[in-house]
Structure formats: structure tokens, C-alpha cells
Amino acid sequence: MPLLADRAPAKVNLTLHILGRRADDGYHALESLVAFAGTADRLTLDPAGPLGLTVSGPTAGPAGPTGDNLVLRAARHLGARVPGLLTGAFHLTKRLPVAAGIGGGSSDAAAALRLLARLNGLALDAATVVAAARETGADVPVCLDPRARMMRGVGEQIGAPLDLAPLPAVLINPGIPVPTAPVFKALGLAVGQSLPGAEHPVISPGLGGDAVVAAIGPARNDLEPPALTVAPVIGIVLAALRDHGCRLARMSGSGATVFALFADRRGAVRAASSLRAAHPDWWVAPTFLR
């Protein structure tokens, strides 16, 4: 049987409103417009091999032990639900930064589920696949079908694809891993407490680039202020992007990756080239968000 392959694109939170901390389970409820980048990890599956994972690529080192990788967790969760599930040997080419607020591990896990679904003739919206995604991690379900959409709750409420126009963008990570837990701790919400703030704007399907920027401009990432206390370098990256003529610069997820939207691809590539030269230790990726 031939080798199967898929991309695991970076997940970017164009907005991230924290509504509060739920009284029943203590989880943070959110509302977020999510898009996916052209830049991605790559995952292959060799059905002839035993279930396992090898990792290579420029960010393979920080990815951690392969035995606890989300790729294998996703495969095991699906195997527990599908008797006789066909699996194989995974190889992950890791290009996205780790602990970076762009869902790299979650996207890798979703790619693993897509490959296993293809191998076993399962639909991506099959109850077994969706349940395995949810058990693997809060961001995995939205990564199963990586297209721009709204995400609510703790990630389990996934909206329909919005078919937004591709957005020319630059992603920058300053090379500082930012674990999620300290950022939420700095946010400081008690169980049952709500976070005040304007409601999330309505995002209509099929918006063009100008309309997307206008719609999300008044929105926010509620984790950006606490993340700045954990990793002040995020503020330096935001300022650098704003100095390069972007239309909007904002942190993604819990950081430390920042995105900037540009009027066209040429502006994004020019800014990325300049910033890469000025900060060779930063991970800089011009891309499109869809």
C-alpha cells in the first residue's frame, strides 16, 4: 500500500475573546475566529509499518518525546473506538514552532486522524473520528477540516466554513516557547467569573479581505495582555510588524506567535524579508491565511 501524506497547517486565532471561566468544570469559555496558514508541518503514514512515530525537521527538537506526541495519542484514541483500525508508521516533518499559539501539535494530530480516516474509509465527520479529536485536545476538532470558521465553548463548538478571501500575512515567533497555563494564570479569572468586554463581531460568510480586516479590527485577543507579562518580547514583535505597514497586528492563541495582515502578498513578503534580516533568530513566515 502506498505512503499517505498530508499537511498540518498552522492555526491562527484572528480573534480570541475569553468569555469567562465556567463554574461547572473550571475551563475557560471562548469565542474565536480561526484561520489556517499556508505554512505547515508535513505528516506521512506508511501502512506497512507498525504504529509509531519518527520526527525530523527544523523544529523537531522542541517537539518533545515521540511516545507522548499528539499524533500517537490521536491514533490511539481512534483505535479505541474503531475495532481493527488499520494504522502504520507515521513520520512528522516539523516546521512550525512549538508552544507557539498556532496549534502545531493539534494540527499534527488532526492530520493523523485524516490519514487514518483515509486509510480506513472513514468520513471526517464520523462520530468516532470527532470523538477521538475531542479527546486528543481542545483545538484538534477545529483542525480536522482546516478552513476559516468560528470556534466556541472550549473548542468543541465548531462553526461552518466561512469561505473568507485569502489574507496575505506574516507570522513571527521570537523563539520563546510560551506554555498556555502561565498565560491563563496571568489572566487571573476565578471559577465562575466572567471577563467583561464587547461582544464578538458577527463574521459573515464570503467576506473579502477588506471586509475581514474591518470586521475583526474592533475585536481582540484577550490573552495578549497577560501573555505580554509572561513574554514581553511579544510586544517587540508587534511593534516591529506595525512599523512595516501592516493593516493589523495581533497575537495568536496564547502566544508567542504574532500575525500581521497586509494589503497584498508583495507587502507581506517585503516585510518578512526585512524582519528576517533584522532578527535572524526569529521564525518568520510570509503566508496566506484562509
Asked whether the bond before 23 is cis by omega within 30 degrees of 0, the reply is no
β pairing state of 89-93 and 52-56: parallel
Q: Show Cβ contacts of residue 31 under 8 Å, excluding neighbours closer than 6 positions.
A: 15, 16, 17, 19, 150, 151, 152, 200
Instruction: Report the residue count for the chain.
Output: 290
What span, in angstroms and rounded, lies between the C-alpha atoms of 244 and 239? Answer: 9
Which residues face 17 on adjacent strands? 31
Which among 6, 41, 108, 139 is annotated as catalytic?
139
Q: Is 6 a catalytic residue?
A: no
**Residue (of 260, 256, 261, 262) closest to 235 by Cα position:** 256
In single-letter form, the type of residue at position 222 comes to: D
| Under 8 Å between Cβ of 117 and 126 | yes
> Measured in whole angstroms, how far is the alpha carbon of residue 207 from the centre of its chain?
21
Half-sphere exposure of 212 (CA within 13 A, CB side): 27
Asked about 94 being catalytic, the answer comes back as no
Other C-beta atoms lying within 10 Å of the C-beta of residue 79: 17
The one catalytic residue among 11, 41, 94, 108: 11
Q: Report the distance separating Cα 74 and Cα 101, nearest Å.
A: 20
**Residues taking part in catalysis:** 11, 139
